[in-house]
Amino acid sequence: MVDAAPLPLHRAIVRKEWVDYNGHLNDAYYMVIFSQATDAFIDYIGMADAVRRETKTSIYTLEGHINYLLEVKEGEEVEIRSRLVRHDAKRMQLYHEMFRPGHADPVAAAEFMLLHVDTTDGAKSAPFRPETAARLREIQAAQDVLPPSTYSSRTIGLKPKA
């Protein structure tokens, strides 16, 4: 049974080598932390490394978008809470928010479009295995009752001058 809440599947401590010349978490390392959270979600849906190797399947990232909201300093702990926005037979739209534990406001948010692939002979898109599809449906049903995510399904761009 999945709770109707974002899933707290990953935590990290900001390392010294992740801090930039401005004294806060470098933008590239937000991606590292969010990628680790995506891996934790992939494990959560039943596609841990051993399963991927056995079934010759994997998950590829097709697109990603990060919103940097507040500075994060060296030594701070962050927690990622994950939501399944949508999924279909082969893809899932995954949303993460990064928090300081115990705080209500996110320090960053990220969203990714992920593709299930069959790696038997190269890599080509393939439907999720039945047990993975069932797990995604279970998570989706539980999380569909949540209000929309603030930074989900956004685009980037400057408006043209009038």
Its pTM stands at: 0.93
pLDDT digits (tens, 9 = 90+) for 50-102: 999 999 999 999 999 999 999 999 999 999 999 999 999 999 999 999 999 88
What is the four-CA torsion angle of 142, 156, 79, 25, rounded to 10 degrees? Answer: 170
Name the superfamily (CATH) of residues 7-143: Hotdog Thioesterase (3.10.129.10)
- Please list the residues that pair with 60 across neighbouring strands: 115
| In the chain, domain spans | 7-143
109 CA to centre of own chain: 9
